[in-house]
Structure 1
Amino acid sequence: MTLPAIIGAQAFDQAFWLKAANQTVRSYCGWHVAPIITESITLDGNGSKTLLLPSKRVTDVVSVLNDGIDVTATVRKSEKGMLELTRGCWSDELGAIEVTFTHGYEAADDVAGVIAALVSRAASSPAGIAAQAVGPANVKYATGPGGVPLSIPLMAGEMLTLDAYRI
């Protein structure tokens, strides 16, 4: 049986584990956190006057299309990612809202510290071992929902650090 390309020597590949750690943090937080980037996303409409962007720090809204109509001039934003239409409502259609916005933190040293810890832990425990005992030789592997193995589990203290950035 041939192993897929994703399985192999990643245990020793620092770039692979750095990318995996960044994705672990992004998945936990629900957005990229840092650095500041401008990106375009498509959202489902909710038919109300307000809409929440997947971010905890929005610095600029570049453009907004609501059902293909440019409503940028009629949108108010909060830094926490809430968009409000001053006239009318958001579409209630799936995928009908397109937003280009700038968000994130220039530097988030605490998040960088978590990522560094994840990479270090992955390098020292490539098999995903969460706990070991000497006698009578117990090994506990990190698992997620349904017993699925985790490649880089977040520890409780790391989750507490990231909770400030979680949406």
Structure 2
Amino acid sequence: MGGITFFITKTRLKLLILPIIIVGFFLKNPLAKPDLLVEEQGKLFAVRDTNGRLLVSSKAKARFVREIWQNMEGAELLPLKDNMMSDCRLNYCNYMDKVLIIKENNFNLNQCTNHVLVINLSEDAFICQNVKQYVNLTSLKRRGNLSIWIEKDKMKIVGTKDFIDDRPWNNINEK
């Protein structure tokens, strides 16, 4: 927006706009791509590797969601294979020692301690100890597809259904 104003303006206002544009270049990108994506039925998840590529757990499941993720990514999604990332397998993924994604039943509960977030995509209803946030199939259906951004000391989780009540047409009769 500042760039457009800079080129349209013919007055000394350009001198005020230029520092704003320069500061904008050094700020963090507000449109950063998520580190993890989880499909609402638990059939598919995607993780971002160290090279910034998005790796999906299956190239056969949840085709519509996978195509949307691919359009969002702007590049071909690669299949997650057991040897691509050191702590990610098809049945579980220990992502950056902060998030644990579990897809297999009868998971060893000793492996799910001290994570910030555990995402249980299996049919088993177990609870991990010492976990701050926990997502299972029921909460996935309630929140929809999840996008997760991970930073050094915080995590942001957004579900596709989180903002349904904020839509203007939902509040017509409320006064």
TM-score range, shorter chain: under 0.3
Q: Could you say which structure has the greater relative contact order, defined with CA pairs below 8 angstroms and 6 or more residues apart?
A: 1
TM-score between both structures, scaled by the size of structure 1: 0.22
TM-score between both structures, scaled by the size of structure 2: 0.22
